[in-house]
Amino acid sequence: EAGVVQSPRYKIIEKKQPVAFWCNPISGHNTLYWYLQNLGQGPELLIRYENEEAVDDSQLPKDRFSAERLKGVDSTLKIQPAELGDSAVYLCASSREWSTGELFFGEGSRLTVL
């Protein structure tokens, strides 16, 4: 079974530029999560999808961040414009059901904003 796939693994951009991250969850996993992980910290939830519906986006900074999960499979997380403080690792995870807490994570996309 293929794991959660994320791309790109690394991205370096200048501030005020846009950036997008892509995630392909494990086949059959209805729940998809985007987490933000700052250096030396634990992951923090940005948004959770049940199929194509965003059911928890309370932590997503909506002025510059947006996400979509068309057709309830792949997902894209976008930042526009990026700020220096957005430098972090963006983790995507999926699970069969939201309630189990057993999440399968991708390797993450490391963003550096200069």
Minimum CB distance to another protein, residue 98 (Å): 3
Site residues for another protein, 49-88, by CB under 8 A, read 55-56
Specify the residue for token string 């370096």.
12
Query: How many residues are given for the chain?
Result: 114
**Terminal-to-terminal C-alpha distance of the chain:** 37
Region binding another protein by CB under 8 A among candidate stretches 13-21, 22-30, 34-42, 74-82: 34-42
Nearer to another protein, 62 or 96 (CB): 96
Q: From CA 26, how far away is CA 1, in angstroms rounded?
A: 8
SS (H, E, C) 40-99: CCCCEEEEEEECCEEEECCCCCCCCEEEECHHHCCEEEEECCCCHHHCEEEEEEEECCCC
| Contacting range for another protein; rule: CB under 8 A; set: 18-26, 60-68, 70-78, 94-102 | 94-102
Count the site residues for another protein by CB under 8 A.
Answer: 29
Q: Closest CB to another protein among 17 and 30?
A: 30
Q: Do β-strands 10-13 and 109-113 pair in parallel, antiparallel, or remain unpaired?
A: parallel
Considering the rule CB under 8 A, would residue 25 count as an interface residue with another protein? no
Judged by the rule CB under 8 A, the positions of this chain that interact with another protein are: 3-4, 31, 33, 40-45, 48, 55-56, 89, 91, 93, 95, 97-108
